[in-house]
């Protein structure tokens, strides 16, 4: 059982809440006050993942995507140009890093789907493992011109300073 302690400040706000959190809390409090007798209310509390680390992960993916040159045999498909796609790249790298779910398509063929990295579906410790595994995949398959992890980390830190 966990407890949450809210402290109301002299200005009427709750300690530690941003303005956006305060608005959400006021909506919740209003909904709670208007609940019907006997109505069941379920509350789920989550600790947010480190958003800076999430941005760092996407900086790594963007760097990888920018450096990736697919060895395409076919530059067109059915008369349409074939282009690189960041979302597909992100999913493929995540799968190669070992973070996937096995599913089936309509024909019964097994497919691999990249595991969700959303804040709601992944805790910090697992996300750190994803970051490290994705870094290894990119070092192996994309970053041939870098000497190693320290080189890439240095560039990511520079990108993060400008973002």
110-133 mean pLDDT:
88
- What is residue 163's predicted lDDT score, i.e. its pLDDT? 60
- Burial class (CB within 10 angstroms; exposed 0-12, middle 13-18, buried 19+) of 152: buried
Q: Which of 20-24, 46-50, 63-67, 148-152 has the lowest mean pLDDT?
A: 46-50
Which pTM does this prediction carry? 0.68
The pLDDT tens digits of the residues spanning 75-108 come to 788 888 888 899 999 999 999 999 999 999 999 9
The CATH number assigned to the domain with range 51-162 reads 1.10.3790
The domain spans of the chain are 1-45, 51-162
Written as six digits, the tokens of 135 are 């870094």
Helix (H) or strand (E) holding 22: helix 19-33
């Amino acid at each position: 059982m966990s407890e949450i302690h809210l402290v109301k400040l002299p200005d009427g706000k709750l300690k530690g809440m941003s303005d956006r959190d305060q608005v959400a809390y006021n909506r919740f409090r209003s909904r709670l006050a208007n609940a019907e007798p006997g109505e069941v209310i379920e509350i789920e509390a989550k600790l947010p993942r480190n958003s800076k680390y999430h941005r760092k992960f996407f900086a790594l993916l963007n760097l990888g995507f920018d450096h990736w040159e697919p060895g395409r045999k076919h530059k067109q498909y059915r008369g349409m140009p074939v282009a690189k796609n960041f979302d597909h790249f992100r999913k493929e790298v995540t799968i190669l890093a070992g973070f996937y779910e096995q599913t089936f398509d309509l024909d019964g063929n097994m497919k691999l789907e990249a595991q969700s990295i959303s804040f709601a579906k992944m805790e910090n410790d697992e996300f750190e493992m994803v970051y490290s595994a994705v870094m290894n995949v990119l070092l192996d398959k994309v970053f041939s011109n870098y000497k190693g992890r320290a080189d890439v980390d240095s560039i990511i830190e520079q990108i993060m300073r400008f973002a």
